[in-house]
Amino acid sequence: MDVQRWTYLLVGASFALYLGIAYWSRAGSTKDFYVAGGGVSPLANGMATAADWMSAASFISMAGLISFMGYDGAVYLMGWTGGYVLLALLLAPYLRKFGKFTVPDFVGERYYSQTARQVAVLCALFVSFTYVAGQMRGVGVVFSRFLEVPVDWGVAIGMLIVFFYATLGGMKGITYTQVAQYCVLIFAFMVPAIFISLMMTGNPIPQLGFGDRLSDGTYLLDRLDSLHQELGFAAYTSGSKGLADLFCITAALMVGTAGLPHVIVRFFTVARVRDARLSAGYALVFIAILYTTAPAIGAFARTNLINTVHNQPYDAMPEWFSKWETTGLLTFEDKNGDGRIQYVADANRNELTTFDKDIIVLANPEIARLPNWVVALVAAGGLAAALSTAAGLLLVISASVSHDFIKKMVNPHISERGELWAARISAAVAVLIAGYFGINPPGFVAEVVAFAFGLAASSFFPAILLGIFSRRMNKQGAIAGMLSGLLFTLGYIVYFKFGQTLFGLSPQAVAPARWWFGISPEGAGTLGMLLNFAVSLVVMRLSPPPPAHVQQLVETIRYPRGAGAASGH
């Protein structure tokens, strides 16, 4: 069978599985909708957390970034992996001990303030909508190539699928759907990696093949450095980012991971604090399988791409080249009229005028001439990664509106049935907004996701961390900190990333030379986080301490064992 038929078969089968699971595990109560009834096993929750956390940025875009950026792309790998460790150690058990459905719920109760809850809802919506835009972009990229439909239609199809199983099943349906999606995405990620590692190095373990010798006896990374330098690119294993920018991007991704509301809420779905810790450990193992493989895939793909396209006749290009051309994500311009493709660092001579970073993982099996079923499998895996995270984000958005805004602030007497319908309507509106940003994305997938992490780092992380570990932190400090961190980071990103488009600023005004301390928009979340901490602590010192019962609550959160029935001990 050809690639398209295999894609219809594998994607169709996986979607049927997801929808069937969503119907089987559909939510019958708000507790089912928000936290899956609180009875998910640690193993299942670990797999669901891994699927929720490994988004289209992880599956589709991260290896592409490493492939094109080399050493510099490793900041995403370090930041997202380190961030999950931070989340598992510092936040997950304590938030589970607190026992609330959502992060705004935690903020509202911990800081004894409806205003704090409102600010947290605002932050959750900003972060979630920014993040979900990247996921819908990933869905559109996959569909546009493998189902041979326009990107707009690809996004629309993904919207319908996510809306069905997210609004029908809620967290209960999403949890068990994400278990299946993890199995699909990790199988789809590893199979081509193992195939290509065997073909290039003779080693079936990609992580070891990454540092192994090629058939000609040279090491893979040495060969890639040589190819880069021949074509005028910087050596693959060298870095060009400044130390401050490297540190800030990594830190923003780390603490942003630890402040992401759709990941944190996963730890409310287990029965006990001990289970939250255990599921965090399982998730780290499941995540590590993909993250330790991504650098190998990036290096394999980059080597094969250069060998396949550079100085080769355009008319002799394999079918995958023309298929990606039709999506507009890859374009060729024969600048010297010789009929050959020149892929070099010099922009005036480079004839691959567009090669989207988000397509390299999806195109990788075709570039390596793997069987058609492997190519289709990668498409199914990419969709599983994008849709699993999109569903979790949509649930956060709907819960923030229905539970934290409507029930807690607008209509406290709303019935459970009414709250459930409000959550589903909120999810429907969120799907439409997410679809718009998927069709009109503000950047490539990993870049958009990095912005979401920066917003989470600058808004949620300090409020949650201080809320757990500081009895003295009060509502005035938390509110001032969250607002200042969020607004600063948002303003920094908008000014330097979109200033030319939105405000007509000159290229010189938004050039890297004008970045504060040499820190890029992707690393702005670290600056916002530091501002948040500073403002929170200063305002805290200038305002009254929290009530005694709140200070006692903080002590209860920090000592799960022996602290009552909620701890599960």
What is the pLDDT, as a whole number, of residue 564? 42
Helix (H, G, I), strand (E, B) or coil at 508: coil
- Comparing CA positions, the residue from 141, 185, 91, 132 lying closest to residue 380 is 185
How many CA within 13 A on the CB side of residue 37? 14
How confident is the model at residue 445, as a pLDDT? 59
pLDDT at 36 over 90: no
Task: Extract the tokens encoding 32.
Answer: 């089912």
Domain range annotation of the chain: 3-333+336-567
Q: Is 562 exposed, middle or buried (0-12, 13-18, 19+ CB in 10 A)?
A: exposed
pLDDT band, residue 25 (cuts 50/70/90): low
Buried b (16+ CB within 10 A) or exposed e, 535-553: bbbebbeeeeebeeebeeb
* Total Cβ atoms within 10 A of residue 333: 11
* Burial class of residue 337 (count of CB atoms within 10 Å of its CB; 0-12, 13-18, 19+): exposed
pLDDT given at position 472: 93
pLDDT per residue as tens digits for the range 210-237: 989 988 889 999 999 999 999 998 899 8
How distant, in Å, are the alpha carbons of 113, 208, 472, 552, 558 from that of 468? Answer: 16, 41, 10, 11, 7
Report the distance separating Cα 447 and Cα 445, nearest Å: 5
- Mark 304-328 as b/e (b = at least 16 C-beta within 10 Å): bbbebbbebeeeeeeebbebbeebe
- Mean model confidence pLDDT for the chain: 82
Specify whether the CB–CB gap between 195 and 50 falls below 8 A.
no
Where residue 267 falls among pLDDT bands split at 50, 70, 90?
confident
**Residue 436: how many CB atoms within 10 A of its CB?**
14
Give the confidence band of 166 by pLDDT, cuts at 50, 70, 90. low
Residue 427 CA, distance from chain mean position: 19
What's residue 497's pLDDT? 87
390 pLDDT above the threshold of 50: yes
- pLDDT tens digit sequence for 76-133: 888 888 888 887 777 777 777 776 656 777 888 899 888 888 888 887 777 777 777 7
Instruction: Name the β-bridge partners of 339.
Output: none
Q: What pLDDT is attached to residue 569?
A: 43
The terminus-to-terminus CA distance of the chain in angstroms comes to 56
With 50 as the cut, is the pLDDT of residue 453 above it? Answer: yes
Dig out the tokens for 521 from the structure: 């928009």
| Region 42-57 average pLDDT | 82
pLDDT of residue 567: 42
DSSP 90: I
- Please compute the mean of the pLDDT values over residues 431-443 and round it to a whole number: 75
Q: What is the pLDDT of residues 499-549, one digit of tens each?
A: 887 788 888 888 888 999 999 999 999 999 999 999 999 999 999 999 999
DSSP structure string for 189-244: HHHHHHHHHHHHHS-S-HHHHTTSB-TTSSBHHHHHHHHHHHTTPPPTT---S-HH
- What is the reported pLDDT for 529? 95
CA-based radius of gyration for the chain = 24
pLDDT digits (tens, 9 = 90+) for 125-154: 777 777 777 777 777 777 777 777 777 787
User: So what's the pLDDT on residue 198?
Assistant: 93
State the residue for tokens 């931070």. Answer: 86
pLDDT band at 37 (very low <50, low <70, confident <90, very high): very low
Structure tokens at 394: 């949509």
Select the more confidently predicted residue: 400 or 30.
Answer: 400
Q: Is 26 strand, coil or helix? A: coil
pLDDT at 33: 53
Closest listed residue to residue 389, CA positions, set 177, 157, 105, 169: 177
Structure token digits, residue 53:
């956390």
196-205, long-range: CB within 8 Å, 24+ apart, which pairs? 196/297, 196/300, 196/304, 196/364, 196/365, 196/368, 196/370, 197/296, 197/300, 199/368, 200/300, 200/303, 200/304
Mean pLDDT across the stretch 30-36? 51
The tokens describing 201, both together, are 């190095």
Architecture of the domain delimited by 3-333+336-567? Up-down Bundle (1.20)
Neighbours of 16 (CB within 10 A): 10
